[in-house]
Structure 1
Amino acid sequence: MGKAERTRQFIIETAAPIFNRKGIAGTAISDILEATKLAKGGLYGNFSSKEEMVMEVFDYIADQEKRRLKAITAGEATAIGKFEALFTYYARYPDGRQVAGGCPMINFGAEADDTNPGLKKKVSDLIRYFESRIEQLVQFGKDTGEFRKDWDEKQFAILMFAMLEGAILITGMMNNNKQMLVVLDFLRKEIKRHTK
């Protein structure tokens, strides 16, 4: 990686938690300049606009989220073990976050909904990725004989993802994880109901 690429990556990594915490509209270019200690020319020499920076920041965050999801489940050999590893992680939320500032799908999605079709697509793609990983875990459990073959993995993936995202939002608002623990208990029971 050359100097220009390293500088660009440094800007993206430095800007990611700022955009995730303060929002797109709430983040001024001066916030990024202060955090990176770069001059305006250094910033605009790497990005043509704030919009371009936001898109690349979200790509970086999405990659971090995907890596985190894989890492959480990697050490488990069974589908049930992989689900339990996820639930253990979410029970401690927001500990272990790769990028500070809460869930980027909620944060960026709320701002992109009606104003930024390109960013909305990126957030939608990340949501689909998370749902597909849940589907794959259910299918893995079916293939290994842990789960009943008639379990609808697509429906469960939508249910699990929506419940976790809702619980993440509430956890942040209430400053406690009481609702998250209720959601995780429900999901554990749902998995047990489909276990052979």
Structure 2
Amino acid sequence: MKKGDRTREYIIMKSAELFNQRGYAGSSLNDIIAATGIKKGGIYRHFGSKDEIALEAYNYAANVVNGRFSEAIDKEESAAGRLLAFFHVYEDVVNTPPFIGGCPLQNTATESDDTHPSLRDKAQRGMHNTLDMMKRIIYEGIRTGEFKEDVDPDTLASFALSLLEGGILLSKLEGSNRHMQMNMASFSSFLQQCCLKVH
């Protein structure tokens, strides 16, 4: 990778951390300069605007989290285990989230809902990508006979993601992982009692 490309990637990485902690609106160009140690001219050599940085920064943060999801999923053999793997990634969200500042999808969606259409679109695509990952796991569980045939993948994926994001929000707000732990336990019980065939 060329030096210019490395610099660009560094700006994206540090900006992603900054935006995910302080928000897009709460982060100025001077904050990006302070976080990267790169002067204004150096920033604008690689990006035309703060908006451009923000969109690339979201992609970076989302890719980091998706990588963690994929790693956790690959360790599981059952469909139920793969769905619970999403929760395990955020199991200690208060102290060691998969990306500094918490969930990029949640943070971006909350902040940009009515203020930044381009970032909102990014978050919306991120939501659909995560739901699609979950639905593929559910369809596979149905195909192999692990899940009942009448399980609706769209409904179950929406329920799983809602529990995950709700657990993240409440745990971060309270400064305790107990909400995530409770949601994980509830979802695990739901999968065992309602979705898995009795053998």
Match of 1:39 in 2: 39
Q: Which runs of 5+ in 1 are unaligned?
A: none
CA contact (8 A) 1:109 1:120 kept: yes
Alpha-carbon distance in structure 1 between the residues aligned to 2:6 and 2:151: 47
Q: Displacement of 1:87 after TM fit? A: 3.6
Match of 2:24 in 1: 24
CA contact (8 A) 1:16 1:99 kept: no
**1:143-164 per-position Cα deviation (integer Å, ceiling 9, x unaligned):** 2221111101100111110121
Q: How many equivalent pairs are there? A: 196
Match of 1:107 in 2: 107
Describe how 1:2-151 pairs up with structure 2 within 5 A.
2-151=2-151
TM-score of the pair, normalised by structure 2: 0.92
CA contact (8 A) 2:69 2:89 kept: no
User: What amino acid is aligned across from residue 144 of structure 1 in structure 2?
Assistant: T
Q: Displacement of 1:88 after TM fit? A: 3.4
Q: Displacement of 1:91 after TM fit? A: 3.0
Greater CA drift, 141-150 or 88-97: 88-97
Match of 1:152 in 2: 152
CA contact (8 A) 2:109 2:120 kept: yes
Q: Secondary structure at the match of 1:91?
A: coil
Q: Secondary structure at the match of 2:154?
A: helix
Greater CA drift, 109-118 or 90-99: 90-99
Greater CA drift, 106-115 or 146-155: 106-115
Q: Displacement of 1:6 after TM fit? A: 1.2
Alpha-carbon distance in structure 1 between the residues aligned to 2:96 and 2:175: 16
Alpha-carbon distance in structure 2 between the residues aligned to 1:91 and 1:65: 13
CA contact (8 A) 2:72 2:88 kept: no
User: What amino acid is aligned across from residue 35 of structure 1 in structure 2?
Assistant: A
CA contact (8 A) 2:94 2:176 kept: no
Alpha-carbon distance in structure 1 between the residues aligned to 2:122 and 2:167: 22
Match of 2:176 in 1: 176
Q: Displacement of 1:84 after TM fit? A: 3.9
23 and 160 in structure 1: CA distance in 2 versus 1, 3 angstrom threshold = same
- Root mean square deviation of aligned Cα: 1.5
Q: Displacement of 1:14 after TM fit? A: 1.3
Q: Which runs of 5+ in 2 are unaligned?
A: none
Q: Displacement of 1:79 after TM fit? A: 1.2
87 and 164 in structure 1: CA distance in 2 versus 1, 3 angstrom threshold = closer
